Structures are given as structure tokens and as C-alpha cells.
Amino acid sequence: MNKKSALLYFILTLILFLGLWFRLKGISTNHSFWSDEAFVSSFSQDIITGKTSWIKGASMVGYQPLQIVVTAFSFMIFGISEFSARLPTVLFGVIGIFFAFLVAKKLSNWSGGLLAAFLMAFSQLNLSHATQAKPYVVLQTLFLVQIYLLIKLIDKKKLSALVMLFITTCIVYFFHSLAVLFWISFGITLIVTYFLNLKKLIQKPLIVLGILLSIVLVMYFFGIFKELIILFKPLNGRFLFAYSNTVFLKNIFLRQYGIFLIPAILSFLMIDKKYRGLIAGIICYIFVLLFMWNFRSYSHNMRYLMTFFGFIFVFFGVFLGKITDLLYLKFQSASWRTNLKLIPILVLITIYISSYKIVCTPQNYYSPNLDLYGDVQNADYKSMYEWIEKKYGNDINKIAIFNDLIDSERFYLQRNSNAYFIKGIKKPYLHGINNIMIYATLSDFLKQKARYQSGILIIEDWESFLPEDIKQYAKKNLRLEYRVEKMTVGGERDIWPLEVRSWGMN
């Protein structure tokens, strides 16, 4: 290995090490789960504490069973804590940095690979999601793994690469059912790349029948038919275009990330023609993902687009790497052309100095709300439930507790609420997990309150699921026992107040 290669490997190793350090720092304080983290982790906790079996626990959240299993294994090894629940995501995030380098290097050069790895490692958005006990960074990493394996398949045409592709695409689905879209990039890439071979296969009907049957079985097993029905069924009385999140889409991708997105898209024009099938697969995947997010989802949460952000960072590196190569070839006679190889590194340094969309020093907490306010309601549930258990002690089971969501309570409080109140439901119904009734109206709240001599109401003091009239009644008529504005590690934008109000207490 020459000195230049040794230096490049050192830089890559340094980026990976720092990426790991930044992420571990971000989970080191065991700060509170937000509701989605707590809900999924609660089933992992049930598995480890013997309250349920591995199979039943993993199946409680049907769209992400492997997330529950992986979290349970982490609990088993490192103990039950927020740190342990978030650690697998941290590790997947570091693996994602490495595969970002591999993909960008393969499609451009070393400099492009290092730039892609740098953006993946220190992106504020990536750091915030890689320090949560949620599977979206896992999807981002495995999407890059899929792209890398597709490149290997195109280059080497080995059956082993195809098998690994199939296994990866199967596994990622069990982390989150949103990964069903990975079959698009997988399938389109194969069809476009091996189109001529497919024309020959048509002459062999038995093989074609076997392939079609396999495709149908895969689509059935992974619920692709169900997803197609969801895609095309009317929502809100509208066909296809049920919602519109276009204003958020333009703000995020043009105003905030346009400097990375536009070069990433332009890189498609510069990549070798043999990868045209890969580019077609990625484009089709991105189109469906953005269409679903923009027009078919009532929620415009950025976490659903983490795979797209992975694409942006990696192909931005590819673009700079390819630009470098083109300029290097154009100025063959220039004595200074070797310096052109430093262009991506200079861009890397510029981004670091400007701190644009990246984090320069490790933090105890990386806010997921810097790009889109309110994307994650990072309230300090942990402190609130610790206060409740300390305040009421052995009497905790003697008082009534009213809440809106089961999520955070299920992990932090060793009992269920007596009733839940969620706005927008048409009539009361029984919760499918803990068999407690859910109501929606103030009159129902007053009826349930009258059943108990004393109790508390937990209020998420923002536009939450708790009906507003119940919240206002409580603020006027129930005594304030406790209020926490935000987590101690949270920034100024992450203020999510929680209140505990009581009736019938001495």
C-alpha cells in the first residue's frame, strides 16, 4: 500500500470513528423516549422481562417486528435503557456511512466516496435519526446495501450477489413495512439491465411460468398486493391525490437541501451507461416514495424519507467525484491537473466550515425538528412518569389515570390508564392492546371522572391527540400537580410541555 492509499484509508477510518463517536454521544444521557420509540421498545421490554413470548412480542407492531426483536436482544445484552434501545440504530448508522463510501467510490472515485461518507456521518438529519430507537436509519443503510449489491451484480453477474440482494430486500421489510418499496428498485434494475436476456426467456414458457409464480408469491407474502390497493383506493373522497404536502416538499428539498439534491440528480447523467438499469430502479423507487409521501400520506414526517436523504448525500459525492474525473481528463497537459483530485475534499472542508446541515462537534442531543418543526414531539415523558411514580408511590394503583396515548406510558409506567381520550373518533371503542376504553368527548370525560374519587389527567400541552375542550376544562377545574417544559438536553425548538392535573387529591 502506497502513502496515498494509506492516507485515504486513514481518512475513511477517521470518518467512521467520528461518526460512531458523535452517535454514541447523542444517546449517552439516556434522555426520554418520544412516543413512537417508547411504544415499540415497550414490547421489547415485555419480552426480556418475561411478560410475553418472543413471537407474540414481535408481532404486536405488525409493520416493524424485527425492530422489536433487535431492541430486545440489545436489552438482553446491555440492560433495559434508552441507550440500549437506541444502540442498534447507532450501529446501523455507522454501517450506512461505510456503504455510502462504497457506493460513491464505485460510481465515481475515492474523493467522491469520502465526501459521501462525510455527509452521511455528520449530517444533522442523519445524526438525529440515528440516535432514535426507530428503524428509519436502518432502512437508509439497507437501501445503500441494496444499491451496492446491485452494482456488484451488474459488474460481476454472480448468483451470490443476486441471492444477497434477495435476502437483504426480504430482511429490510421486517424492520418496517415501508421497505416494501425496495422491491421496485430491485425489480426495475433487473428488468432494465437484463432486458435482452428476458427476451430470450420468453421462448422458454416453463421458466417464465416459474419466475411469474415466484413473483406472485413474493408479492403476496410481503403484502405488495395490499400496498397496491392502498395506493389506488380513494382517501378523503379523492382518487390518488388524497393529500398535498407539496409545500413541505418544496421547502425541504429545494430551499433547504437543493444544494445537495440538484448535483445528486445531475450525477445520473454522468454515471457509466452499464448502470442505466440501476439508475432506472432508483428513479422509480424515489418517484413512488415521494408520490406516496406527498399525495397519499396524511403525515409529512421526514423520517419516512430517510432513504431519499441517503441517496442525496451519496450521489452528491458521486457528482463531485465524476466532475473531478472529467476535469482531470480535460486538462491532461496541465501540470496542476493532479490538484483537481482535491475538489471534493475542498468541498468537504467548505461544508464543515460553513456548518451547513452538518454537526461539527458531538452533542448530547440532535434535534430532529431543525428542518421541519414538529416532526418529532420530543417531550420529557421519562421525567414526568418518574415524578408520578415517586409522588404517588404505593398508591399509584389506587388512583385513576387518564391519558390520550398508550405509547410512552407503556414503557415508563408499570400500569395502564383507566381511560384514554383521543379527538376525532366517532364513538368509544376498546383499545386493541390493553383493552381499555378510548373516548373523545368532554361529556365522556366527565362521566368517567365521576366514577373515581381521585385521579390525574396527563396533558400534552400542544396540539396533541387530547381533545381541546377536555384540555381547557382541565386547566380551569383541575389542580396543576406537575409541569415539565422540555428535556434538559433539548434545544430551544424542542419545547413540548407536559402537565399532570388532579382531582380529589388531598
pLDDT beneath 70, residues of the chain:
1, 195-208, 211-212, 219, 223-232, 234-239, 332-340
> Which pLDDT does position 336 carry in this prediction?
61
> Which pLDDT does position 492 carry in this prediction?
76
What would the DSSP string read from start to end of 76-89? Answer: HHH-SSHHHHHHHH
What would the DSSP string read from start to end of 24-74? Answer: HHHHTT-PPP-HHHHHHHHHHHHHHTTSS-HHHHHTSSTT-HHHHHHHHHH
Q: DSSP letter for 299, please.
A: -
Nearest partner of 308 among 487, 137, 180, 95, judged by Cα: 137
> Which pLDDT does position 237 carry in this prediction?
67
Q: DSSP letter for 492, please.
A: T
> Which pLDDT does position 236 carry in this prediction?
67
Q: Where are the domains of the chain?
A: 89-151+213-354, 381-503
- What gap in Å lies between CA 450 and CA 171, rounded to an integer? 50
> Which pLDDT does position 330 carry in this prediction?
73
The answer to whether residues 480 and 391 touch, using CB atoms and an 8 Å cutoff, is: no
> Which pLDDT does position 81 carry in this prediction?
97
Place of cell 456488484: 152
Percentages (nearest 5) of helix, strand, coil residues in the chain: 65, 5, 30
For 244, list phi and psi in degrees, rounded to 5. Answer: -145, 110
> Which pLDDT does position 346 carry in this prediction?
85
- What gap in Å lies between CA 47 and CA 68, rounded to an integer? 9
